[in-house]
Structure 1
Amino acid sequence: MSASATAAAGPGASAGRAAGRAAGRAGLFVVAVAVLVASAAVSVRIGTTDVSYPDIARSVGFHLGLDVQPLPRLLDSLIWDLRAPRVLMAALVGASLAVCGAVLQALTRNPLADPYLLGISSGASTGAVAVAVLGLGAGSLGVTGGAFAGAALSFGLLMLLLRRSGLDSVRIVLTGVVVAQLFTALTSLVLMASGDADVIRAITQWLLGSMASARWDGVVVCAVVTLAGIAVAQLYAGVLDGFSFGADTAASLGVDVRATRLVLLVVTSLLTAVAVATVGAIGFVGLIVPHGVRFLVGPLHRVLLPMTALAGAVFLVWTDALARVAFAPQEVPVGVFTALLGVPLFLLVLRRRGDL
């Protein structure tokens, strides 16, 4: 083919490749949604008492007002009141924490950043426990408000400690570990101050992460906050691409670095706070999922963020199902399994970066 023919075909070929990539991403998104729906159905079905897929369909149909025969009350309550909100809560929290991890990794240019490692989850836990156990600000804040205040306080402390050294990758992680340990110690002090062994036992298990208390009212609140937070993060997808190359690069593209960073940090703090207030502190989701999705779809955040949300939802739905059935009838906190999976990946990322 002559040079002129190649040049003439170039724009059309480039457009064709771009269209092919867009179609491939759309197809991958559809597959991810289908996997999430299938995972949710399987998770609702399995447990100490197995139920059938027709039973699930009848229960959901009945509560949605469809003309179906209702199930016996006990079986319907098991599906609709216990398992369905639990599975939906796991999906929402998984999506929320995964997106938080992706956003924080871009903002800090640190592949190890996530709400757990940076101390945000620990701060949210302290705030939630202070309200739940000590009743601090219970009338005006509530547990979710307390968790948000704790998350904001912990992140503010992190930024204060880093104000001179800057957002160096290693310093962020080390300082985040210090902040996390501080708020973990404060949480322990609050629990000890309660002096009630039963309260300490219940709160300690909750802090490890559990979907057992999920109910429809909590699902609705978490859904509203999660969807709004992910939507805001998606609006800043192009800006996050710039942050991935550094704040100076983002500023050269006309981004108001300070205001953008503030908005996204508030969004991630709120998402983390709601997750912690509803199910406890679940670590490593924001570390594991974005790296896996980035490997599959690339670094562009307009694609990365929605795929990360879906992958995070699928990951936590299956992790929660494993926590329910692995040692049945005893239930293991879901945070135990996310840590068991997250620690090896954390070490792998460190090794690939040459820090280990």
Structure 2
Amino acid sequence: MARTKQRWLPAVLITLVVAMAVMFGSVQAGATVSLPPKTADEVLAMIARTEVRALSGTVEQTAGLGLPEVPAGPGTAPGAASAMELLTGSHTARVYLDGPFKARLQVLDRMAERDVVINGGDAWFYNSADNSATHLTMPAPSRAEVPSFAGPRESLPPTPSPDTSARDVPTPEAMASRFLAAIDDSTGVSVGEASSVAGRSAYRVSLHPRSAETLVDSVTIDVDAETGLPLGIEVRAKGQTEPAYSLAFTELDLSTPDAALFDFTPPPGATVSEKALPAKPVPTMTAPEGSPTTSHPRATVTGQGWDSIIALPAGSAPSGLTSNPQFAQTLEPVAGGRALRTSLVSILILDDGRIYAGMVPLERLQAAAAAL
């Protein structure tokens, strides 16, 4: 398992706070079971070698980040308000995966259903509440652009959104991979009692930050004893008795889903918005100085491991972000801008459009902003 530093942080923070607009997921593991003992390195090696490429199942999420309840509203495109709504309370979804470029998510609300369907270079976001859909078209990625995990397996399907490039579908495995990439000398790793998740026996590996500054107390991952597939993830915050965030399968089928599930046709009368995502350079290549780049601001990372802070330059905050009525109710006024505090992550949005984020207290972000 590669012990890389810092590169996991932008993906984790965006996934957990800003771009989890189609999120769902989790329940705690069930009764303990008996499995042959394994070391932490052996369980991590199982995850690295997993070859699961296709599955279907039900996932449940519980988020206790300390955010106010944000009611679901119409509109299908992911955004800050819908992300915040899905980061409060509990949500259930169906997930279907087939290889690196086919995925379907069905987020099941009380009175409506939200769907995300990805099939190659096409992606659909649909909301039954107002019968609206957003259709995204993307350039087909080259093999060099396909993210991969250690071992022989292919990566999980990317999830595009109207204002970002492709992202991993938020499954327990995709979430776990972000944290596993953080393992270094700042992280203790241990194996606890085996358990049962979605009717499957699982090893439980825990990550414990050694930092006194981070808000994260521990990250626990349940790993399928047969395939090495992460079945659930639970993140605990310091000083909080219940998990701050959990995502896990409650049902799981490892057979290939019906291909028809990845085809989508808007229902009659649906309002359809068409968007096209521009091609992006291969991540391993550096664009020559002065050459055209994407519209996304360049992030910088200060600090190390769990204490790292992401900084985006002036003008990075989207126009109208802090004035959005649903999102604004989660923010508090601070000197020079607005801030979002949760039990796991803090975000500072300054009046000049700078953004700072980290799994650290807000005061650490303010100090970093003042230093720059």
Tell me, yes or no, whether TM beats 0.5.
no
TM-score, with length taken from structure 2: 0.24
> With CA pairs under 8 Å and 6+ residues apart, which has the higher RCO, 1 or 2?
1
Q: Which has the larger radius of gyration?
A: 1
TM-score, with length taken from structure 1: 0.25
Going by fraction, where is strand more abundant, 1 or 2? 2
